[in-house]
Amino acid sequence: MRPIRKAASKAALAIKTEANDSLQDNSDPAINRGDKDDDAFAALMANRSRPTPGKRTALKPSEQTPKSRTLGTNDSIHVSFGALPDLEDLISDASQTRRSGSHPQSYHHFTSLLERQRVQDALVAWYDIHHRKLPWRVDYFKEFAQTSEEKGKEENPSRQQRDGQRAYEVWVSEIMCQQTQIATVIPYYNTWMEKWPTLADLAAADLEDVNKVWTGLGYYSRAMRLHQGAQKVLKEFNGILPSDPVILEKQVPGVGRYTAGAIVSHAYNVPAELVDGNVIRVLSRLRAIGGDVKSPKVVDLHWQIAKELVHQERPGCFNQALMEIGATICTPQNPKCGDCPVQTSCRAFAEVVDLKRSREETLGVSKKRSSGDSINDDGEDDTCLLCVPDMDIDTKDIGQVTQYPRKAIKKAPREEECAVCILERIVKDTESGKEKSLFLLVKRPEKGLLAGMWEFPTVEQDQLHGSAKSNTKASSAKQGSQPATTAPLSTYKQRSAASQNYLESTLGFDHLLRRCTKSTQRRDLGQAQHLFSHIRKTYHTEWVVIDDTKSEGSSDEKPKGTKAPEMQWLTVEELEKAAIPTGINKTYQLMQKFKAGQLVGNRGRKRKGGDLLNSQEQDPAEKVSSRTKRVKAECGLASISKFFSPATSSSER
C-alpha cells in the first residue's frame, strides 16, 4: 500500500497549480522562481490549515494500526482504519470481478476510513479552487463563521438571523434548480430575490405575483409550494427554516429529503447527506454500482454511501463539490477523467483500465495481486445481488465509464389531448363608449398538473373522450351495430360540442351564449403541443368571438352558482401580463398569428404532424379565400368576422 501522504498528492498538486498561476504576473528578479513557488504554496497550505470549528486532527500512529468496525446500517460491511487502497488495488478488484462474474457488497462501499478521508479532502480542495461562482453559493466558514464574541453563546439572535436568511436563499435556489439548467435559473433567482429578499416578504406576497415571476421555469407547483412553505415557516417557526432535516422534510411543503439535506448542510453546516442526479452519477461511478438506478434498493444504496462519505466539518462544501464534479467533470457523456481529483478512488475508471490491459496482456491480471486474491477479506458470502448483468443493460457503453449509472429503458411520454376554447367577448367600454375585447380565464384545481394556474376554458382528455364515447354509442345504436371498445381521436365537431357544453353546464354561461347566438363566430385554429416531463399534450384550439355590444349585461359578467370554478375576464393588455402556463400561451400565439395573417385554421388543410380532416366535415361556405387570409392590425372587428365559420345554433346541435 502507498502511504497516505502520497495518496493525497493529487489534491495538493491542484493547490500548488493555483499558487503557480497566481505568481505569473510577478516579475521580481530578486526572488528565485523556485523559492517563489514554494513560498506561495506554503502560504496557501497554511491558510488551509487554519483551525476552524470542529477541525479534524491527524490520526496518531497508534490509530493507524489495522482496526475495524461495523456500520450500523449494514452489518455485513466492515470498515478498516488501516490499509489505504490505491488505483492498482481497484484495478485488481475489477480484474477479479470480471473473471469471476460476481463481487461482494463491499465492492460498492468505502471500506477504509483513510480512503474515505482521502476522497473528502480531495473533493473539498478541488471545490475551493474550481467551483463555479453562482449567486446563491456562499462558504459557511468564510461568511458566517462565529466571531470570538459569539463563541460560548448558545443562542445569538444576529447569527440565527444570518443562518435563517442563508437557509431561505438556499431553499429558493434548490427548488428552482430542480429539473432546470443552472444558466436558466440564475436570472430567475436574481429577480426573485430582488422582489422577495426575505422569507417574510415571500409569505406576504400574492400567489398570482409569485406565479408570474415563475412563468417560464415550468413545474409551477414548485412556486405554489414555496409560497405555502414560507407562510407556514413564518407562522410556526418564527420565519426561520428548521436546522433539523427530518423536521424540514416533514413540516415544510415541497421539501423532500434532498432539499432538506441541501438546506441544513449549506446554511447551518449540519452533516447531512444529499442525493440528486449528479451525485448518483458520481457515486455510481466511484463505486461501480451496476443496478438499475430507478430501483428503490439501488437508490437507497446511493443514500447510504452519501451518508457514509459526507464531510463532518464542511458538509455544505462537500455536498456542493459532489454536485459540481457531476456537473462539470463527471458528466453523462465524455467525462473528463483526467481532470478528476478522485480518479484513484474510482472503480469505474479502474474497470476501464483493467479491460484495456486484458486486451493487451495475455493473462490480463493486476501486477500487484494474483487472480486468486479475494476482495472480501473475511471470506463471508455477501455476493451483491443489485447489479444487473451486462447482457440486460440498455446501453452501448459497456467497458466505459459512461456505462454508469445504469438505467432502465426510458418510457416515452404518454400522449394526451385537450380542447381549448379562447372565448373573446366584445363589449362597450362604459367610460369611453368604444368597443373592447375581454378574454375568459378559468382557474385550474388546486391539485394535479399545473395546480392553481389560470387558463382558457379547457376540456381535458377524459371528458373529451367521454363525450366521444357517448356520441359513438348513440350512433352505433341507430345503426344497430356494436359500440366501439376504445375512444376514437376527437374531431373538431366533437371538441366544439364539448367546449360548448363546458361553457354552458360547468361555467354557467348558457344565458350569455343564448343571448348572443346570432353574433357568435367560431374558428378552428389548429393545435399546439407542449412536452411535460411525462406527458406530451396536444392543445386543440378553438377561437370563439361573442359580440355582446348590444346587450345591457355587465362587462365583467360572471355566472351565478357556487359549483363553477373561479374565473375572470381580462383585457388584451391584462392577458399579455398574466401568468399563464406555457402550453396555454402557445394557443394564444396561434390566435395572434391568425390575426396577423401568418396562419390559416386547419379546417380542411394539411398541418405538419397532423392528419387531413374529413372532407365531409367541411362546409364549402367555411373556406377562406386567398384575399381574406391576411388581417391587418388596423382592421376593425367587422373584418375579423369574415374569417369565422357560422356558429351552430342550439337547435342544430
Q: What pLDDT was estimated at residue 391?
A: 65
Contacts of 45 (CB under 8 A, 6+ apart): 12, 15
C-alpha cell at 54: 470542529
Q: What pLDDT was estimated at residue 242?
A: 94
Q: Mind listing the pLDDT tens digit for each residue in 215-243?
A: 888 888 899 999 999 999 999 999 999 99
Please report where in the chains the cell 400561451 appears, as a residue.
585
Higher pLDDT, 13 or 182: 182
Classify 546 as helix, strand or coil: strand
Query: What percent of the chain lies above the pLDDT cut of 90?
Result: 42
Of the ranges 98-102, 228-232, 644-648, 649-653, which is most confident? 228-232
Regarding beta strands 435-443 and 567-571, do their DSSP bridges make them parallel or antiparallel, or are they unpaired? antiparallel
- pLDDT bin (cut points 50, 70, 90) of residue 478 is very low
- pLDDT bin (cut points 50, 70, 90) of residue 556 is low
- pLDDT bin (cut points 50, 70, 90) of residue 83 is low
Q: What is the mean pLDDT of residues 361-375?
A: 47
Q: What pLDDT was estimated at residue 454?
A: 93
- pLDDT bin (cut points 50, 70, 90) of residue 530 is very high
Higher pLDDT, 599 or 192: 192
Task: Render 421-450 in DSSP notation, one character per residue.
Answer: EEEEEEEE-TTT--EEEEEEEEEPPSSSTT
Of the ranges 131-145, 268-282, 367-381, which is most confident? 268-282
Classify 78 as helix, strand or coil: strand
Region at 513 (left for phi over 0; alpha for psi -120 to 50; beta for the rest)? alpha
Contacts of 444 (CB under 8 A, 6+ apart): 450, 451, 452, 453, 454, 455, 565
Q: Give the separation between CA 342 and CA 15, rounded to whole angstroms.
A: 14
Q: Give the separation between CA 147 and CA 318, rounded to whole angstroms.
A: 23
Task: Render 582-649 in DSSP notation, one character per residue.
Answer: HHHHHHHHHHHHHHTTS----TTS--TTSPPPPGGG--GGGPPPGGGS---TT--HHHHGGGSEEPPP
Q: Give the separation between CA 339 and CA 343, rounded to whole angstroms.
A: 8
Q: Which of 18, 115, 149, 174 is catalytic?
A: 174
Q: What is the mean pLDDT of residues 275-284?
A: 94
Task: Render 199-227 in DSSP notation, one character per residue.
Answer: HHHHHHS-HHHHHHHHTTS--THHHHHHH
Q: What pLDDT was estimated at residue 86?
A: 81
**Strand partners for 458:** 420
Q: Mind listing the pLDDT tens digit for each residue in 178-216?
A: 888 899 999 999 999 999 999 999 999 999 999 999 988
Least Cα distance to 622 among 641, 637, 643 occurs for 643
Q: What is the mean pLDDT of residues 520-530?
A: 92
- pLDDT bin (cut points 50, 70, 90) of residue 402 is very high
Alpha helices in 489-554, H assignment, sequence order? 492-501, 510-515
Question: Dihedral sign, CA of 232, 233, 234, 235?
Answer: positive
Least Cα distance to 375 among 288, 458, 464, 449 occurs for 288
Q: Give the separation between CA 97 and CA 76, rounded to whole angstroms.
A: 19
Q: Give the separation between CA 159 and CA 630, rounded to whole angstroms.
A: 65
> Does the structure show a pLDDT above 70 at 168?
yes
Task: Render 377-396 in DSSP notation, one character per residue.
Answer: TT----B--SSPPGGG---S
Regarding beta strands 414-428 and 535-547, do their DSSP bridges make them parallel or antiparallel, or are they unpaired? parallel
Q: What pLDDT was estimated at residue 89?
A: 87
Q: Give the separation between CA 502 and CA 420, rounded to whole angstroms.
A: 11
Region at 186 (left for phi over 0; alpha for psi -120 to 50; beta for the rest)? alpha
For residues 126 and 325, the answer to whether their CB atoms sit within 8 Å is yes
Of the ranges 365-379, 390-404, 546-560, which is most confident? 390-404
> Does the structure show a pLDDT above 50 at 511?
yes
Q: What pLDDT was estimated at residue 519?
A: 79
Residue 334: HSE in the Cβ half-sphere, 13 Å Cα cutoff: 1
- pLDDT bin (cut points 50, 70, 90) of residue 466 is low
Q: What pLDDT was estimated at residue 553?
A: 52
Q: What pLDDT was estimated at residue 237?
A: 94
Q: Mind listing the pLDDT tens digit for each residue in 28-48?
A: 333 333 344 344 434 443 444
Output phi, psi for 544, to 5 deg.
-120, 120
Least Cα distance to 128 among 235, 222, 52, 23 occurs for 52
Least Cα distance to 619 among 529, 502, 496, 469 occurs for 496
CA of 550: how far to CAs of 277, 511, 636, in Å?
A: 60, 15, 17
Q: Is 504 a catalytic residue?
A: no
Q: Mind listing the pLDDT tens digit for each residue in 413-442?
A: 889 999 999 999 999 888 888 899 999 999
Higher pLDDT, 520 or 555: 520
Mean of the per-residue pLDDT values of the chain: 75
Lowest average pLDDT, out of 429-433, 471-475, 533-537, goes to 471-475
Higher pLDDT, 162 or 274: 274
> Does the structure show a pLDDT above 60 at 149?
no
Q: What pLDDT was estimated at residue 609?
A: 37
For residues 602 and 524, the answer to whether their CB atoms sit within 8 Å is yes
